Amino acid sequence: MGLPRLAEIYLPALRWLAVRFGFATVRSMPATSYRYLTKVPGVRSGRTIIEGTRIGVHDIVGLTVNGASVDEVCRSFPDVTRAQVYECLSYYEDHRAEIDDLVASQMHDPQA
């Protein structure tokens, strides 16, 4: 059994022991940041929008939950890229309750 194989076996256990007995700390994951999304006070009531637009994440999600594909969303909003749509969907996964409420209110009041 060579040295690389021994390291592969024992290093995870040694790391666990070091953390368990206080010789090392576990690094927490940094907060998620979004490359294309922002909140601007006074724009769309401070809701999360695609940077440089007035298009809310809830606008994108509203289309997708009603069956629109990513390409159809891009056709509906020609200035929005596929990457921006996917990031809106990622944001939705992280903030589902907030966005679901906005989408539901938008369905009842299309001017929201």
The predicted-structure confidence for 71-107, as pLDDT tens digits, reads as follows 999 999 999 999 999 999 999 999 999 999 999 988 7
Helix (H) or strand (E) holding 20: helix 3-20
Q: What does the pLDDT read at residue 85?
A: 97
Average pLDDT, the chain: 84
Residue 27, pLDDT above cutoff 60: no
Region of 52 (left: φ > 0; alpha: ψ -120 to 50; beta: rest) is left
Q: Which residues contact residue 61 at a Cβ distance below 8 angstroms, ignoring those fewer than 6 apart?
A: 88, 89, 92, 99, 103
Residue 65, pLDDT above cutoff 70: yes
Residue 14, pLDDT above cutoff 80: no
Structural domains present in the chain: 1-30 (no CATH), 37-108 (1.10.10.10)
Please state the rounded mean pLDDT for residues 24-53.
Answer: 83
24, 108, 23: which is closest to 62 by C-alpha?
Answer: 108
Q: What does the pLDDT read at residue 32?
A: 73
